[in-house]
Amino acid sequence: MRSLVGFVPLLVFAFALAACSSGSQTSLPIQPQVGTPSGQAAMQLPLGLNYKPVCDAPSPGDSAVCLALVRTDVGGAPGGGVSPLSHAGTTASAPAGYGPAQLAAAYDLNQSGGSGQTVAVIESGDYPTAEADLGVYRSEYGLPACTTSNGCFAKVGQTGSSTSLPRENASWAEETALDEDMVSAICPNCHILIVEANSATTANLDAAVDEAAKLGATEISNSYGGREYASSDPAFDHAGIVITASAGDSGYGEGSMQPCSFATVVCTGGTSLQPSAGARGYSEVVWNDAYGASGSGCSAAVAKPSWQTDKGCTRRSQADVSFDADPNYGVAVYDSTAYEGYSGWLVFGGTSVASPATAATFALAGNASALGPNAAEVFWKAAGGGLYSVTSGNNLAGRAKCSSAYPYICTAGTNDDGVYSGPGGWGTPKGASTF
């Protein structure tokens, strides 16, 4: 059996936790409503930490950590009280954070597709109220019911059993809530399959991915990661299935995060999606603030796929595509599980948003069977066509400069083509046609 690589806490997580415990947190000013030109009411970054990692205390032996970031000053969190982003022009009782309509508008998504598609989300530990909480989210936004009884929803353990489930894991429950809500937001007609691993070890997470494939998932999302441990992994290599994974929330690093860096995975980075003037109504830059940034890297373990055309990084370049991940412009999520005082309507960011959203966009396109296992290739062949380009910003987050051999791996707009970059990939969805 392959030995597991122990999880090493990421520096940004440690820094974030230290700031959180120091009492330096400062509330955000009121956020602008969606569609408000940024010049009229631009949101300023806070002086103190205003979000924290959900999986800040991994269990001994875990080889991966979930990559969700929860806002500490919004919604059901202690001290809440920020105006909603998701229901422009409605009452202040609406949930904060982007909702399905705003995400569809920002990314030009026709949400009528997805029939016959099953998006699986891979988790660690049980989320007992997953189905009920999903019902609250979908009811709030007028989405059709997705339940066990109507065949839209299923939750199983890593062996495929719906009754023999792992122990509850309240921190990962927040991750699961984010994942199921993002699939719903992007693809309301998709079926949702939650596969719960017994723990966040490589062996158990791999078993959950294989089980999702066995149960007929057309897309599989993995909103977690850890240090690179292999050049390939058969669990992430299934013909006819699109597999996505998060690029990480700690900015640029020498090397990449797995499973995101496997050549058979669509690696998803993160942007800051902000309301702005103009025809689109939104603008995007690489997500990067004092406490976190979209992950990227040049793999130390995975060979360069033949379809990657960038020059400089001689192995697998991370990431391929991106999506909103900035907690300061985050998404609305409902989770009734009380974890560290956070429950109810919450606002999330992190590249954990990007992975299920990207998987669900592939589901809208509906042709996963013709793409897997090398679905990332479509973005490289299109060379950014059919995507919103992300050509400004970097993910250094106060760290040392990129390698001089491949500065584009951390800084948008510096590649020869002016489009591809590590943190932004080839861009973000502009409809689902490229997918």
What tokens appear for 348 in the block?
A: 């999330």
Pair 102, 44: CB distance under 8 Å: no
Residue keyed to tokens 């080889």: 63
List pLDDT tens digits, range 75-125: 655 444 444 454 444 445 678 899 999 999 999 999 999 999 999 999 999
- Pair 291, 219: CB distance under 8 Å: no
Write the DSSP symbol of residue 37.
Answer: -
Does 362 have pLDDT greater than 80? yes
Nearest to 54 by CA among 45, 64, 66, 43: 66
Lowest mean per-residue pLDDT among 14-18, 116-120, 291-295: 14-18
Residues 68 and 175: beta-carbon distance below 8 Å: yes
Sequence-distant (6+) residues with CB within 8 A of 76 are: 342, 343, 344, 345, 346
Superfamily of domain 11-429: Peptidase S8/S53 domain (3.40.50.200)
Neighbours of 148 (CB within 10 A): 11
Per-residue pLDDT at 25 exceeds 60: no
CB 241 within 8 A of CB 213: yes
Reported confidence tier of residue 402, pLDDT bands at 50, 70, 90: confident
Summarize pLDDT for 42-62 with one digit per residue, the tens.
233 333 478 999 997 777 889
Q: Is residue 10 pLDDT above 60, yes or no?
A: no
Q: What percent of the chain has pLDDT over 90?
A: 72
CB-CB contact of 79 with 185 (8 Å): no
Altogether, the residues listed in the chain come to a count of: 435
Q: Is the pLDDT of residue 146 over 80?
A: yes
